[in-house]
Amino acid sequence: MSTRRSTPLRVAVLASGRGSNLQAVIDAIETGQVHAKIAAVISNKNDALALERARKHGIPDLFVNPKPFSGRPDGREAYDRALLETLTKYDVELVLLAGYMKIVTPILVKAYANRMMNIHPSLLPSFPGLDAQKKAIEWGCKLAGCTVHFVTEGVDEGPIILQAAVPILDGDTPETLADRILQEEHKIYPRAVQLFAEGRLRVEGRRVIVSGGDMPAAGAIISPV
């Protein structure tokens, strides 16, 4: 059964770049499809477009400079401790990694166990890591897609919440395929946030059980015929 919260879920988005997934979540909140509030957008890149998108919507935009931490043996952990302080300060309940190009350490993963999501542009467990779309084309796959999953210590390895599939067409380049996948990302990420806000996600081992209501769509599987 879904649970209606009286207060919106407090979300933070960690992003390093363009921030189109952040924008999709902002739009879904503003149109009432997602019952959440973005408490802060945090970036490791000062010039991330994601920060500008946040500012336009009156959301606190925070650049946490990785420079002072680099070169230290515990630099990555110290950086994540600084992030954790910020997340705590903003009362964040759910963290979204959205094009966040930095590996999160156990400091954050443990503090936000089953409360931190990532979106990845492949049908995991195929093609974790960088250049997923290019690898899917080169492998000769007929389907590609995207995955929203909870974050665990292994990169792109956590329990899968939602996936959407798209065809790989003859003549696709990594860019054309990435665009087609991105359209699906923009649907499933807000949807996963809403399922979380409704208290409908339960993790059992590797499986995420979605309770109540209609089954979330696995995404459009479109025949190229």
- Where in the sequence numbering do the catalytic residues fall? 120
HEC profile for 156-195?
A: CCCCEEEEEEEECCCCCCHHHHHHHHHHHHHHHHHHHHHH
Peptide bond just before 190 cis, omega within 30 deg: no
Amino acid at 55: R
Determine if 121 is a binding residue for ligand GAR (CB under 6 A). Answer: yes
CB of 6 to ligand GAR, least distance (A): 30
- Applying CB under 6 A, which of residues 17, 75, 159, 199 lies at the interface with ligand GAR? 17
Determine if 13 is a binding residue for ligand GAR (CB under 6 A). Answer: no
Determine if 120 is a binding residue for ligand GAR (CB under 6 A). Answer: yes
Segment 174 to 193, residues that bind ligand GAR, using CB under 6 A = 182, 185
- Applying CB under 6 A, which of residues 9, 19, 29, 184 lies at the interface with ligand GAR? 19
Strand partners, 112: none
Q: How many residues bind ligand GAR (CB under 6 A)?
A: 13
Q: Are 181 and 121 in contact (CB under 8 A)?
A: yes
CA separation (Å) from 60 to 32, 54, 99, 113, 152? Answer: 20, 7, 18, 24, 26
- Applying CB under 6 A, which of residues 26, 39, 99, 193 lies at the interface with ligand GAR? 99
**Residue numbers at the binding site for ligand GAR (CB under 6 A):** 15, 17-21, 98-99, 119-121, 182, 185
